[in-house]
Amino acid sequence: MPINIDRVTKLTEELSQNTQLLAEGNEKSRLKLLLISYKLTQALENPQETFWKLWMLDSITRIVVQVASDLKLPEYLPDEPDKAVGSAELAEKTGAEQALLTRLLNHLAASGFVEEAGPDLFYANILMRHLSTKAIQDGSEFYPRTMGKAVSVLPQYLAEHGYRDPTDELDCPWQKAFDTKLHSFEYIQKDPDLARLFKHAVLSQNQVRRTHWEDHDFYPVQERLLSGLKPNSVLMVDVGGGIGLDLTIFHDSHPLPVGARLILQDVDSVLKTTGDLTPSIEKIPHDFFQEQPPSSKGARAYFFHRVFHDWSDDKCREILLALKPAMVPVYSKVLLLETVVPSQGATWLNTAADLVMMCGLAGRERTETGFKDLLESVGMEITGIYTRSPGEESIIEAIVPE
CA 239 to CA 311: how far, in whole Å? 15
Contact between 393 and 366 under an 8 Å Cβ cutoff? The reply is: no
Q: Is 284 exposed, middle or buried (0-12, 13-18, 19+ CB in 10 A)?
A: middle
CA 277 to CA 267: how far, in whole Å? 17
Q: In the chain, helix, strand, coil percent, each to 5?
A: 50, 15, 35
Task: Choose the catalytic residue: 107, 286, 305, 309.
Answer: 309
Q: Is 398 exposed, middle or buried (0-12, 13-18, 19+ CB in 10 A)?
A: buried
The H or E element that residue 139 is part of is helix 134-145
CA 399 to CA 333: how far, in whole Å? 5
CA 306 to CA 209: how far, in whole Å? 13
Q: Which residues pair with 335 in a beta bridge?
A: 303, 397
CA 114 to CA 145: how far, in whole Å? 25
Largest CA distance in the chain: 73
Cα dist. 224→72, 221, 301, 398 in Å?
A: 48, 5, 10, 11
Q: Which residues pair with 333 in a beta bridge?
A: 301, 399
Residue 309 appears among annotated catalytic residues: yes
- List residues with catalytic annotation: 309
